[in-house]
Amino acid sequence: MADEAPRKPLQQAVALAYDTGKPAPKVVAKGRGLVAEQIIHVAQEAGVAIHESKELVSLLMEVDLDQQIPPILYRTIAELLAWLYHIEAAQKSGIPLPPAPDTSIPLTEI
């Protein structure tokens, strides 16, 4: 129908967890639409920092639940984890929050 407003694309969200001593973080939750909104809400309620990267989320949506991220994403995810640690340190010490890292993934790596 011509009168319909364009549909908003479904939001996607992926949650990662990293256990010290494990080789890589794993996908612990992922979803679209209402599930994505719930993942984001739970993260916000828990005080977890949220980073938006459609490209990265799209790649992580391909990873099965409870599976480790693929090696191609190690560097990008490591930079995100370092950023989160800096945020926690900044919040504790009262210094300005660090800028978010660039999570674009060069096409040559994919």
pLDDT tens digits, 55-64: 999 999 999 9
Return the CATH number of the domain spanning residue range 12-109: 3.40.1690.10
**The pTM is what?**
0.75
- How far apart CA 43 and CA 37 sit, in angstroms, is 10
* Cβ neighbours, 10 Å, residue 80: 20
Find, among 81, 11, 10, 94, the residue nearest to 49 by Cα.
81
Domain regions of the chain by residue span: 12-109
Are 73 and 60 in contact by the 8 Å Cβ rule? The answer is yes
Least confident among 19-23, 26-30, 31-35, 90-94: 90-94
Q: How confident is the model at residue 33 (pLDDT cuts 50, 70, 90)?
A: very high
Least confident among 17-21, 44-48, 55-59, 93-97: 93-97
